[in-house]
Amino acid sequence: MSDSENGLPDAGRRTFLWGAALATAVPILTEAGLAQARMAGGMGVPPVDAVLINANENPLGPSKAACEAIANIASQGGRYDRNDVQGQFIKTYAAQHGLKPENVAVYAGSGEPLHYTVLAYTSPTKSLVTADPSYESAMLAAKYAGAPIKKVPLTAACGHDVKAMVAADPSAGVLYICNPNNPTGTITPRADIIWALENKPAGSILLVDEAYIHLSDEQDVLDLVAAGKELIVLRTFSKVYGMAGIRCGLALGRPDLLAKLNEFGQNAMPITALAAAQASITDPDLVPSRKKIIGDIRVDTLSWLKSNGYKLIGESHSNCFMIDTGRDGHGVVEAMRAEKVYIGRIWPVWPQAVRITVGSADDMAKFKVAFKKVMDAKAVAAIDSTHTDPRAPIGVGGKTFLS
Ligand SMILES: Cc1ncc(COP(=O)(O)O)c(C=O)c1O
């Protein structure tokens, strides 16, 4: 299967990173990279009045304090991090989460450590085990490592099927769990993650991607890092903190586990991103207030979709969710774009499902109008009556839902 068929951008349009330890270039796949690839691929820059709910960004953007911190530190940009902003940030973050500073590695987003973990711990004889659908970045890195990729379907509730993942390959190198999952926004219970950690193949690493954890009520697994277990946890400032374009992410783990990522390089962080991240984590109201704003808009949108008879897949606790459109998903994405509403991509395993990011209240009001128009139009694409998703849900008023 080519990358394009796999829903991934073509190699020629990717950002490349030249790791000293690697013979070939390694593409870092991020939502930003995908958006850039789409622009370069002919979609162009979206119009100014477009609704952008296609990349799981946060329309609230960086907090006021984060913007001020950027402005205040910008004039120091002629030097490297002369005042050790990075050290201060790491100390603060570690203290807030019961970790030691050596458990915390900072990157320009979590996409880099995600790739590096997979590159470091998989090989042609050590597979990547991932849920399907899930965030594809790990698969792309495994492909470059020449590692086998074992895709395991989600459970009926759209959590990770940890028993099937552990059983998928006794010589797995990395088990990747994205919690809440991208694209479904669904939760894998902490007890299942602990079970995977305790039962994973010897020598493998559990990679838990908590990019969206702040948006859910689920307890995180950083205590397992503090306890010295064999896992790496990823966090990003691109989601709840609204810093996707500013770039800051973290790999959290035992120092010996993190050391293997260093082989692929660790660029210096922009001091602006560090200052913004520091301001964000020292504001106690930021996460709860944003979680509430995004959660309320999600609940409103999902309830509108349900009451209009559209079919949701799983129960989202995040800033994205999936709709089974019952027709070719690409056609729906195109038709929505014609309405200037940019929605997310399609995962090959569910060709009729589209991912929607929770935008602002205004974004979602426009989404509702456009989506109804597109779904009411018969011409978008033929309805495929053969579509039989295993999560095929309970009937409600002639249409069906899971959530
Ligand atoms: C699950 C998940 N992990 C990691 C990333 C990488 O994000 P960033 O590199 O912006 O931190 C994303 C981006 O959307 C994501 O959805």
Q: How many CB atoms lie within 10 A of CB 315?
A: 16
Sign of CA pseudo-dihedral 24, 28, 29, 34: negative
Q: How many CA atoms lie within 13 A of 148 on its CB side?
A: 11
Would you state the pLDDT for residue 397?
26
Residue nearest to atom 3 of ligand 1 (CA): 211
In this structure, what token pair is assigned to residue 98?
Answer: 């019961």
Q: How far is the CA of 363 from the centre of ligand 1 (A)?
A: 22
pTM for this structure?
Answer: 0.88
For residue 94, give the nearest of 251, 219, 256, 243 by alpha carbon.
Answer: 251
User: Is the distance from CB of 186 to CB of 314 less than 8 angstroms?
Assistant: yes
Mean pLDDT value of segment 135-156: 97
> pLDDT band at residue 110, thresholds of 50, 70 and 90?
very high
> What number does the ligand 1 atom closest to the CA of 110 have?
11
Dump the DSSP string for 324-356. E-SB-HHHHHHHHHHTTEEE---BTTBTTEEEE
Residue 45 pLDDT: 85
Domain spans of the chain, in order of start: 16-60+287-401, 62-281
Residue 40: what pLDDT? 62
Average pLDDT along the chain = 88
Q: Best mutation site among 31, 54, 57, 320 for ligand 1, i.e. most ligand atoms within 8 A of its Cβ?
A: 31
- Each residue of 329-344: b (16+ CB within 10 Å) or e? bebbbebbbebebbbb
pLDDT at position 188 over 80: yes
Share of the chain above pLDDT 90, in %: 81
**Ligand 1: residue whose CA is nearest its atom 8:** 109
In the reported structure, the alpha carbon of residue 379 is separated from the centroid of ligand 1 by a whole-number distance in angstroms of: 35
Cβ < 6 Å from ligand 1: which residues?
30-31, 56, 109-111, 114, 135, 178, 182, 209, 211, 236, 238, 244, 249
Q: Which of the pair, 224 or 5, is modelled with greater confidence?
A: 224
Q: Is 393 exposed, middle or buried (0-12, 13-18, 19+ CB in 10 A)?
A: middle
Decide which of 3.40.640.10, 3.30.450.40, 3.30.870.10, 3.40.50.300 is the CATH code for 62-281.
Answer: 3.40.640.10
Considering only residues 198 and 23, tell me which one the structure prediction assigns the higher pLDDT: 198
Q: Is residue 41 scored above 70 in pLDDT? A: no
Phi–psi pair at 219, nearest 5 degrees: -75, 140
403/398 Cα distance (integer angstroms): 16
Task: Give distance in angstroms: CA of 211 to centre of ligand 1.
Answer: 6
Q: For the residues 127-142, what does the mean pLDDT come to?
A: 97
pLDDT for position 328: 96
Q: Tell which atom from ligand 1 comes closest to the C-alpha of 111.
A: 9
Percentage of the chain beyond pLDDT 70 is: 83
346 CA to middle of ligand 1, Å? Answer: 17
Question: 254 Cβ partners below 8 Å, 6+ apart?
Answer: 103, 225, 228, 229, 230
Predicted confidence at residue 382, as pLDDT, reads 44
pLDDT digits (tens, 9 = 90+) for 58-107: 999 999 999 999 999 999 999 999 999 999 999 999 999 999 999 999 99
- Which atom number of ligand 1 is nearest to the Cα of residue 249? 11
Q: What is the structure's pLDDT at 389?
A: 42
Distance CA 237, CA 397 (A): 41
Q: Residue 2: its pLDDT value, please?
A: 37
Mutation choice for ligand 1 from 209, 236, 321, CB with most ligand atoms inside 8 A:
236
CA of 112 to the centre of ligand 1 (A): 9
Q: Which pLDDT belongs to residue 27? A: 55
- Residue with the nearest Cα to atom 6 of ligand 1? 111
More reliable by pLDDT, 347 or 390:
347
Q: How far is ligand 1, taken at its centre, from the CA of residue 57, in Å?
A: 10
> pLDDT tens digit string along 268-327?
999 999 999 999 999 999 999 999 999 999 999 999 999 999 999 999 999 999 999 999
CA 391–ligand 1 middle distance (angstroms): 26
pLDDT at residue 7 tops 80: no
41 vs 256, higher pLDDT = 256
Quote the DSSP letter at residue 383.
B
- Looking at ligand 1, which atom is closest to the CA of residue 134? 1
| More confident site: 313 or 17 | 313
pLDDT over 70 (residue 35):
no
Instruction: Say yes or no: domain 16-60+287-401 is CATH 2.70.98.30.
Output: no
What ligand 1 atom has the least distance to the C-alpha of 178? 1
Burial of residue 114 (number of CB atoms within 10 Å: 0-12, 13-18, 19+) = buried
User: What is the structure's pLDDT at 133?
Assistant: 98
C-alpha to C-alpha distances, 47 to 9, 95, 337, 341, 391, nearest whole angstrom: 22, 43, 10, 10, 36
What is the reported pLDDT for 266? 84
